[in-house]
């Protein structure tokens, strides 16, 4: 018998057929006359019920069907006696593929905390919660490609190892091939990185944008989707040292076209998940409802997960400028809380996460597209506005997440760009290849970056970014 997946059985309901299931035992209940095994094979969140008659299956085998064991079960699909599922499997034979000693197996058939599961990230995908998260993550990744492919965008693979620090923030991981204990030295004793990686100092990419711009200047509309690395030592529920980013880049787009695309794209991804991940999202919603019920009533969210997702799809995002946002914050000053007050004095300061939260969760109660930030707090490549003070930047803020997208219209004017690079001490010589796009056939263009894990967080409702990537890289966390 060929293996059939649980999802296929539930989709097709093949009553009367003899089939073979393979999967991991979640629970087993037994009495004198019969054993019930709940089996999961990862194809769907549902555990499939297997009924084992002790006259057919030996006591020894049944004993080994403990939580976590991997089994191969052949039998006949019959209509289910109990409520819940339409069918169940009457086992004819059970083969133990891999035992899991109940004394040692860390996952027990009970609720484990997310913190505990984070410590055993190598096993946590075997739980309902993490199975659901990683199926949703897959669906969203697939939807990213489908969206752009359908629009005629081309997927570009930008380098992981690079000589450029695209964001100019200096938060890069160095790539080294030399003996850490005995690196080549400069005459002053400092490490000579120039001798590394075939005589070029390199790092892991922080963004594929600059290479993406080169591609957009040839193929018009492109996107990247790959891992990016930031050596910022921030221990928050929104930051990873290694995260995945989607970066579309479009020739002939201005800032408004860019915002239109970003809004449509985000809604598409959410809608795709709503249509294709129903069981998993319902499960994740129910675990959130349980989690919320332990909070004081005034701290519970007003909408359940699925309604929250539908709300974002159905409503227009708010679009305001940084300056308008500052005015709102200035006039809000909720409960005269001190932390908002510094904004009153300083136009030009970067928004803190409390400010973003206030705008999105309290004031507008909707996703917000914030545009036209002061140039001092944004990257060198953003297009300068006529006012001389702001740039055509765009951040998209989501409820419960904060910044989910950062982007801009790019500075396409060679003279303006190089003047800004001089002001910001960005070495032009090293960026000759980037500046060539402005020297030869330059045109207005724009793009943005979506933090994929933050999107998965929003769709799954998970509070900690470490729980939406299989093996999170955070400070002090890289064992496997």
Binding letters toward ligand 4AD, positions 229-248, x by CB under 6 A: -x--------xx--x-x-x-
Using alpha carbons, list the distances in angstroms from residue 466 to 138, 142, 238, 306: 16, 21, 8, 22
| 453 binding ligand 4AD? (CB under 6 A) | yes
Asked if residue 380 lies in contact with residue 410, where contact means CB atoms within 8 angstroms, the answer is no
Residue in 165, 167, 163 with CA at minimum distance from that of residue 379: 167
The window from 38-46, 351-359, 362-370, 445-453 that contacts ligand 4AD (CB under 6 A) reads 445-453
- Smallest distance, Mg ion to C-beta of residue 89, A: 51
| 318 binding ligand 4AD? (CB under 6 A) | no
Asked if residue 46 lies in contact with residue 279, where contact means CB atoms within 8 angstroms, the answer is yes
Residue 454 binding target from ligand 4AD, Mg ion, none, CB below 5 to 8 Å by type = ligand 4AD
| 406 binding Mg ion? (CB under 5 A) | yes
Residue 167 binding target from Mg ion, ligand 4AD, none, CB below 5 to 8 Å by type = ligand 4AD
The window from 12-20, 221-229, 400-408, 414-422 that contacts Mg ion (CB under 5 A) reads 400-408
Question: Of 41, 167, 211, 467, which lies in the binding site for ligand 4AD, with binding defined by CB under 6 A?
Answer: 167
At a CB cut-off of 8 Å and minimum separation 6, what does 405 contact? Answer: 262, 266, 394, 395, 396, 448, 449, 450, 451
Q: Which is nearer to ligand 4AD, 131 or 407 (CB)?
A: 407
Residue least distant from ligand 4AD (Cβ): 451
Asked if residue 467 lies in contact with residue 133, where contact means CB atoms within 8 angstroms, the answer is yes
The H or E element that residue 22 is part of is strand 18-30
Q: Which residues in the 39-98 window bind ligand 4AD by CB under 6 A?
A: none
Q: Which residues in the 345-404 window bind ligand 4AD by CB under 6 A?
A: 403-404
Question: Of 209, 371, 437, 474, which lies in the binding site for ligand 4AD, with binding defined by CB under 6 A?
Answer: 209
| 207 binding ligand 4AD? (CB under 6 A) | yes
| 407 binding Mg ion? (CB under 5 A) | no
Residue 451 binding target from ligand 4AD, Mg ion, none, CB below 5 to 8 Å by type = ligand 4AD
Q: Which is nearer to ligand 4AD, 67 or 390 (CB)?
A: 390
The H or E element that residue 87 is part of is strand 87-98
Q: For the residues of 33-70, what is the DSSP string, one character each?
A: S-EEEEEE-SSSSPPEEEEE-TTTS-HHHHHH--TT-E
Query: Tokens standing for 119?
Result: 């410590």
| 451 binding ligand 4AD? (CB under 6 A) | yes
Residue 126 binding target from Mg ion, ligand 4AD, none, CB below 5 to 8 Å by type = none
- Using only C-alpha atoms, what is the Rg of the chain? 27
Binding residues for Mg ion, total number by CB under 5 A: 1
Distance CA 480, CA 469 (A): 13
Helix axes 278-292, 452-460, angle to 10 degrees: 70
- Cα torsion at 305, 310, 313, 314 (round to 10°)? -140
| 374 binding Mg ion? (CB under 5 A) | no
Residues that bind ligand 4AD (CB under 6 A): 166-167, 207, 209, 230, 239-240, 243, 245, 247, 403-408, 447-449, 451, 453-454
């Amino acid at each position: 018998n060929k293996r059939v997946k649980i999802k296929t059985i539930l989709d097709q309901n093949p009553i009367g057929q003899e089939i073979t299931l393979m999967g991991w035992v979640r629970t087993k209940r037994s009495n004198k006359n019969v054993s019930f095994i709940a089996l999961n094979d990862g194809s769907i969140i549902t555990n499939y019920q297997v009924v084992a008659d002790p006259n057919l299956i030996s006591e020894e085998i049944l004993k080994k069907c403990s939580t976590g064991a991997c089994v191969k079960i052949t039998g006949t699909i019959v209509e289910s006696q109990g409520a819940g599922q339409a069918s169940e499997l009457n086992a004819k034979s059970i083969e133990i593929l891999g035992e899991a000693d109940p004394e040692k197996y860390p996952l027990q058939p009970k609720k484990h905390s997310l913190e505990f599961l984070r410590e055993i990230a190598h096993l946590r995908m075997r739980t309902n919660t993490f199975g659901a998260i990683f199926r949703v993550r897959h669906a969203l990744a697939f939807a990213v490609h489908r969206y752009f492919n359908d629009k005629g965008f081309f997927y570009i693979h930008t380098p992981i190892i690079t000589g450029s620090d695209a964001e100019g923030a200096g938060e890069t991981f160095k790539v080294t091939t030399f003996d850490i204990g005995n690196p080549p030295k400069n005459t002053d004793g400092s490490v000579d990185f120039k001798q590394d990686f075939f005589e070029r100092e390199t790092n892991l990419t922080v963004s594929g944008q600059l290479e993406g711009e080169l591609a957009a200047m040839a193929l018009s509309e492109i996107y990247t989707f790959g891992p990016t690395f930031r050596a910022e030592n921030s221990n928050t529920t929104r930051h990873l040292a290694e995260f995945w980013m989607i970066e579309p880049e479009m020739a002939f787009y201005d800032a408004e076209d860019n915002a239109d695309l970003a809004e449509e794209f985000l809604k598409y991804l959410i809608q795709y998940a709503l249509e294709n991940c129903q069981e998993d999202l319902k499960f994740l919603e129910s675990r959130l409802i349980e989690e919320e019920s332990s909070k004081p009533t005034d701290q519970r969210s007003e909408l359940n997960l699925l309604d929250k997702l539908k709300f974002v799809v159905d409503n227009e995002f708010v679009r305001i400028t940084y300056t308008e946002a500052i005015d709102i914050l200035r006039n809000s000053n909720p409960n005269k809380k001190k932390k908002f007050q510094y904004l009153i004095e300083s136009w030009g300061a970067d928004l803190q996460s409390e400010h973003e939260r206030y705008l999105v969760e309290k004031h507008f109660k909707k996703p917000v597209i914030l545009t036209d930030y002061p140039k001092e707090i944004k990257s060198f490549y953003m297009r300068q506005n006529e006012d001389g003070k702001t740039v055509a930047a765009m951040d998209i803020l989501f409820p419960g997440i904060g910044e989910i997208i950062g982007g801009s219209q790019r500075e396409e004017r060679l003279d303006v760009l190089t003047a800004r690079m001089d002001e910001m001490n960005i070495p032009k010589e090293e960026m000759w290849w980037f500046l060539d796009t402005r020297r030869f056939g330059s045109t207005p263009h724009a793009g943005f970056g979506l933090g994929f894990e933050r999107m998965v967080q929003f769709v799954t409702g998970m509070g900690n970014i470490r729980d939406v990537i299989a093996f999170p890289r955070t400070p002090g966390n890289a064992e496997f």
